[in-house]
Structure formats: C-alpha cells, structure tokens
Chain A
Amino acid sequence: MNKMAKGALATGVGVALLLGGGGTLATWNASADATAGSIVAGELNLVSTTGTWTNAAGVQIDLQNYKIVPGETIKYSQPLEIKLDGPELKATLTPDLNGSTDSFRGMATYDYSIKSAAGRELKGQILTQKDAGAATVTATVTLSKDAKNDMQKVAQDVSKIQYNLQQVIR
C-alpha cells in the first residue's frame, strides 16, 4: 500500500469515528425555567435604646448618683424594637441575669413587664411576627422595708442583665 492509499484510509477512519461519536446528535429535547423564585430567610433581632430610671415620685433619676432607702421603689423603662420576620418564626423574650450576684441578699425584689405598642403583655408569651415592632420593658426594684443597717451603702450591679430574644420551635 502506497503512502497515498494509507493517508486516504486514515482519513476515512477519522470521518467514520466522527460520525459514530455523535450519540447526542439530533435527539429531541426541551427545557423550561422552574420559576421557583428565591428562598429568603427571615429575621430575628432585638434592638434597645437607652432606658430611664425614675423614683417613686416619678422624677427621672441618674442611677449613678442616686441612693435608695428601705421601702423605696425605683422604676426602669426601656424601649425595645423586636424584629420577627417570618410567618413560622416564634420566640420568647426574657431577661437574663447573666450570673449577676444578689448583693442585697434577698432584701430587694424585682419585677418586670414587657408591653407591645398595642398594649399586649409579652412576658411569658410565645412571640410571633405579629408581635414585632416597638415594645417597652418596665422593671421595678424595691428595697424591702425590712432591710437592716447592713444594707447601707450596698451596690447591686445591674449592667450584666440582658434581654434575650430566643427562637423556639413548638
């Protein structure tokens, strides 16, 4: 076989392979967009602004320079912004003492309420998206009338206390 013949044979084999390799050549197919859109995660967040302390007379006080006495109640009011975005999102909002020690050794009582802008009590409730928005925490601290002289000059650190908005699944 001369060189011309060998070249023609190799070219023929190559063309045959090209034709044989067209396994997907000219079979019917179709495609379409799913149009499923985007999956967007919701949002859970809590924002606070500076609160104010008032004494029993309703006068605003500076806690750093104010000393309480037995039988006295002081009140703390703090605005919160609750963000609960998601129809299935549920959460609780609770204070967290964060390991604060009780310097008044049981001689002080603490209470609080959390009211939504609509006036709903949120304390102890499961919050949903409809509870999102402005809320106000009102906390009271009362030094007992039974506090003895050893309670003088005692200081109770409240800076560790937090509000905790915690998602729950129920």
Chain B
Amino acid sequence: MAKNTALKATGLVSGAVLLGLLTVQGTYALWNAAVQAAEGSIQAAAFNVEMDGGIGTVMMAQPDGSQGTVALATTALGTVDAGKSVYAGVRLTNHTDAGGEFTVRASAGQANTGSLGGLLSVQQRAVSGSDLNACYDPSLYAGTATGHVDIPKHGSGVLCFEVSLAASASAEGQVSTISVPLTVEQIVEHKG
C-alpha cells in the first residue's frame, strides 16, 4: 500500500513537470533586436510616349490601357496625282517619368493602303529630332532606309512616310485611308 502511494506521487510530480515544460515552451525568452531597413516604396515608371501628327497629340497608351490612334496632317498628305508622292510624318516624344535611363526605339510596321490597294506604295523613314518638316524632303526617301529611331528620355524622334500613287493608276477622286502600325519599345541597356 505504501509502495502504491509512492508511485502515485511520483507520477503526479512527473506530470506536473512535463506540463510545466510544455507550458513555457512558447515564451522561451531569447534576446532579439530589430531595426527598420528602409522607408518608402520602390515605384515603377510609366511608359508615356506622345504621338503628334501635326494636328494634335495623342498618348500612345491611353489611360484605360488601350492603344492610341493619331491622324496625320491632311495638309501634308493632301491629294496625290498618279506617278506622284505626298509626305507626312509623326513626331514621337518620350515623356517617361523613369528615374534613370529610358531609351525607346520607334518603328513603323507594314502600311495598310486601304481601298486603293496595290496602287499606293508607302516608304517609311526615321529621323532624330522633332522637326516634322524633315519628312517633306523627297531626298530623305532616296537614301538608305532607316527603319527605326532611338528616342532618349524626354527626347523626340520622327517617323516619316512617303505615299506614292502608281503612274498607271486610274483612281481619280477616290479616297483611301492608310493605316500604319507604330511600335515603340524600351531598349534595355541598364547594367546590373
């Protein structure tokens, strides 16, 4: 009987010790110290490229994320006679808010010559700077084609177009809408 009592007591003490250890485990007190690393936020830039066809400006990326469409000055394009050419251009300005370098490359894709189809041909050139008048010089299109222009942050470039109507064309009084897709993409040149 005395032995049984001793065993019971031992068991009770062991249980209490075990319970005690388990209870304090969560508050095991080790020293620590913490400091804040930095303040503020890392912010990504916006891709703000403005298109100017001579009759108003349009942002290439619209606030709703859609693509912008710009009309080129009709005075520049005007009426084209058979065997003749007319000229137009679009000025692209890099208005990015990037903190560092942010150069973009602008180019024009294949023109869709609309209802006059193969009677119209479109040549495209790219020039640095912001002067649309550079596009109205026929000699620009005689030289080697420069398909793209690199535009640095806050800089401009111009994409020029020469539209020619075939000499054999009989399209008097007809109107054709020409659309040209423009592409502007970032040139990644940052060093890691």
Residues facing A in B123-144 (CB within 8 A) are none
Contact of A44 among B33, B36, B43, B192 (CB under 8 A): B33
User: How many inter-chain residue pairs (CB < 8 Å) link A and B?
Assistant: 148
Q: Secondary structure of the B side of the interface?
A: loop
The reply to whether B45 and A167 form a contact with Cβ atoms under 8 Å apart is no
Q: Which of B65, B101, B189 has the most CB of A within 10 A?
A: B101
Is A159 a contact of B36 with CB atoms below 8 Å?
yes
- Asked if A69 is at the interface of the complex by the 8 Å CB criterion, the answer is yes
Nearest residue (CB) in B for A90 is B30
**B42 / chain A contacts, CB cutoff of 8 Å:** 63, 68, 74, 108, 141, 155-156, 158
B34/A68 in contact, CB under 8 A: no
- The reply to whether the CB of A149 lies closer than 8 angstroms to some CB of chain B is yes
A80 touches B33 (CB 8 A): no
Asked if residues B191 and A56 are in contact (CB atoms below 8 Å), the reply is yes
Shortest C-beta distance, B181 to chain A (Å), equals: 16
Distance in Å: Cβ of B126 to nearest Cβ of chain A: 22
Which residue of chain B has its CB nearest to the CB of A72? Answer: B190
Q: A69-B98, A69-B186 are contacts. A46–B33 as well, Cβ < 8 Å?
A: yes
Size band of the B side of the interface? 20 to 34
CB neighbours (8 Å) of B38 from chain A are 51, 53, 63, 76, 78, 158-159, 161
In the complex, which residues of chain B have a beta carbon less than 8 angstroms from the beta carbon of A78?
A: 37-38
- Contact residues of B between 150 and 192, Cβ < 8 Å to A: 186, 188-192
User: Which residues from A are CB-within-8-Å of B35?
Assistant: 46-48, 80, 162-163
Given A68-B99, A152-B47, A167-B30, A63-B191 contact (CB < 8 Å): no
Q: Which B-chain residue is minimally distant from A48 (CB atoms)?
A: B35
- Residues of B within 8 Å of A164, CB to CB, are 32-34
Give bound CA distance, A53 to B38, whole Å: 10
A159 contacts B41, C-beta separation under 8 Å: yes
Whether A65 sits at the interface, judged by CB under 8 Å, is yes
Whether the pair B44, A67 counts as a contact (CB closer than 8 A) is yes
Q: How far is the CB of B185 from chain A (nearest CB, A)?
A: 10
State the CA gap A156–B40 with chains docked (Å): 9
With most chain B CB atoms within 10 A of its CB, the pick from A67, A69, A91 is A69
Assembly CA distance A53 to B41 (angstroms):
12
Q: Which residues of B contact A69 (CB under 8 A)?
A: 44-45, 96, 98, 100, 102, 186, 190
Q: Which residues of A contact B (CB under 8 A)?
A: 44-48, 51, 53, 55-57, 61, 63-74, 76, 78, 80, 89, 91, 95-96, 104, 108, 137, 139, 141-143, 145, 147, 149, 151-159, 161-169
- Name 20 interchain pairs, CB-CB below 8 A, sorted by A: A44-B32, A44-B33, A48-B35, A55-B100, A56-B192, A66-B99, A69-B102, A72-B190, A73-B190, A73-B191, A152-B45, A152-B46, A158-B39, A158-B40, A161-B37, A162-B35, A162-B36, A163-B34, A165-B34, A167-B31
Interchain residue pairs A-B with the least CB separation, the first 10:
A67-B45, A66-B99, A71-B188, A48-B35, A44-B31, A167-B30, A46-B33, A161-B37, A167-B31, A155-B41
